[in-house]
Chains A and B, each alone.
Chain A
Amino acid sequence: MSVRFQRRVAELLCAALQFLLPPKQRDWGLAIRAELAEIAEDSQALWFALESFRGLAPRAIGLLLLQPFLSLLGVVVRVSRTRGGLGPEAVGVLCAVGAVCLGLVYMTLAGAPARYLGGNVGALVIGLVLWALVRRASAPVGRGAGALILGLSGLLLATSLLGFRVEGASRWVGFGGVFLQPSLILLPLMLVGYSRTRTPLATLGMVVAALAMALQPDRAMAAMMTLALATVAATRVDRSTLSAFAASLLAFVVTLLRPDALPATPFVDQILFSSFAVHALAGLAVVAGLGLLLVPVMMRRVCGEDGRTACFTFGATWLAGILAAALGNHPTPLVGYGGSAILGYLLSLALLPRPVRRQGAGSTSAAPDKPLPSRDLQTKLTLA
């Protein structure tokens, strides 16, 4: 490398660093550039510039990546204030986008391959399309909900019996070289759907799904089922719900007794704590991203009684997913590499109820999915 070239590269690195640094720290970038001029030896100048870039650029890039999300959050807060509130499904979509962005920050800082970042962004785009499609179709929580849940549970059972097998676990299916985890995509959707329907077919679907989780075996998904169905049972005490809960609990116990020898996958499992070893900012991004996943539960007040149960079930579902990721070798939802959790989160959001709006607030005020007694509706409209 020629002397002149070394000096030019060093100057370019310093210029890039100055550009990347947040406005408040630009002076420091300028300081490094000025210092470079005082170093007579060109190779030492290049080394000085390279080291400075290595020390300051990751944090600067992380802050740059966070910036669009922070701006988006500001816009949401302003819209929410002027329009009187957003529903949990709309807030959840913003949280999903934020969590995926924070996951990208973590993966960038941790040195994940670029295709991992592209994979999560692609899954987010597909998930948003699916969310819009499912949300538009009212059928999932209508008459066909029970049959749909039963049909989806059949897919989970088929995955357990015929899916791609690793270390005794059969949880995946392959599509053109991409492996997806159907349980992580479908089970959250089924659980939120079940919290809003009571048909025998839906209950049978839950029992079949529990059997599928025990067969796979998948502790994380079985725990997700158990916690979510316990939440439903706490607000809706009937034989069907208790049967579904009992089946999920039994499945969870079976998964605990069966061996789980799957090793941790880089950038997928065990990242909640290990991310802090990479960089403090990476750790904060992971924790903040996981925290965002539970934010939609806070919007339950704008929904009806039915909506609250669905919101709590949604929260329990993803809380279980987060805890499982913290405790074992299970995918860290949305902030870790993997499209299944992104698709599952957005699909489950699509079944959350829309807010009960004030009269006159909009020409097409969205009604709750189940007709409410007139007294309750009036009370909610008064309180809204």
Chain B
Amino acid sequence: MPRTRALSNHARAVLAALLDAGEGWSHGYELCRLAEVKSGTLYPLLIRLEAQGYLEAEWQQPEEGGRPPRHAYRLTQTGVQLARDNPPDGKVATRRGLREVPT
């Protein structure tokens, strides 16, 4: 079901970070640093985005041996649209170095 409630600034920042990654996959810790959100905020958000079909997640085998597989994330088509419709506000975008997405 489409989300109608206004997204928080944290959610907008995470969406912007995922949008920046484009077709590439992102990881949890990396997203925390890029969007400057705590993992306690990030993971509930990622769970919701995936349940609503805005995010796809997959397990990726590591390039180096001996490391565990990692969970990776990227936006679906509807997720890309959601991110474009909800850019981070100017203050957050400037402070965090995220590019603003034109609507």
List residues of A whose CB falls within 8 A of some B CB.
25, 27-28, 30-35, 37-39, 48, 51-56, 59
Contacts and interface: CB of A to CB of B under 8 A. Distances in A.
Nearest to B67: A37
Contact of B44 (A37, A38, A55): A55
A31 B14 CA distance: 17
Nearest to B71: A31
Nearest to A36: B29
A209 to B, nearest CB: 47
A51 B38 contact: yes
B51 to A, nearest CB: 9
Contacts of B44: 55-56, 59
B77 interface: no
Contacts of A31: 28, 43, 57, 70-71
A38 B31 CA distance: 13
A35 B27 contact: yes
Contacts of B29: 35, 38-39, 48
Given A32-B28, A52-B39, 11 more contacts: A25-B47, A27-B57, A28-B43, A28-B47, A28-B71, A31-B43, A32-B43, A38-B27, A38-B29, A39-B29, A52-B43
Given A28-B47, A48-B29, A34 B39 contact: no
Nearest to B68: A34
Contacts of A39: 29
B54 to A, nearest CB: 16
Contacts of B2: none
A54 B39 CA distance: 9
Contacts of B40: 51-56
A55 B71 contact: no
Return the 6 tightest CB-CB contacts between A and B, nearest first.
A55-B40, A31-B71, A51-B40, A52-B39, A51-B38, A35-B28
B63 to A, nearest CB: 12
Contacts of A27: 57, 71
A56 B43 contact: yes
A54 B41 CA distance: 9
Contact of A55 (B27, B39, B67, B69): B39
Interface in B74-97: none
Interface in B22-55: 27-29, 32, 38-44, 46-47
Contacts of A33: 68
A319 B5 CA distance: 32
A37 B57 CA distance: 19
A32 B67 contact: no
A354 B68 CA distance: 61
Contacts of B46: 28
Contact of B70 (A25, A28, A34, A51): A34
A125 B46 CA distance: 41
B32 to A, nearest CB: 7
Contacts of A38: 27, 29, 67, 70
A217 to B, nearest CB: 43
A48 B32 contact: yes
A47 to B, nearest CB: 8
Contacts of A48: 29, 32, 39
Please indicate which of the listed interface residues A33, A34, A48 has the most CB atoms of chain B within 10 Å of its own CB.
Answer: A34
A51 B32 CA distance: 11
A311 B38 CA distance: 51
Nearest to A25: B47
A321 to B, nearest CB: 32
B21 to A, nearest CB: 16
Contacts of A30: 71
A55 B43 contact: yes
A55 B40 CA distance: 4
Given A38-B27, A48-B32, A32 B39 contact: yes
Contacts of A35: 27-29, 70-71
21 contacts: A28-B46, A28-B47, A31-B43, A31-B70, A32-B28, A33-B68, A34-B68, A34-B71, A35-B27, A35-B28, A39-B29, A48-B29, A48-B32, A51-B38, A52-B39, A52-B43, A54-B40, A55-B39, A55-B41, A55-B44, A56-B44
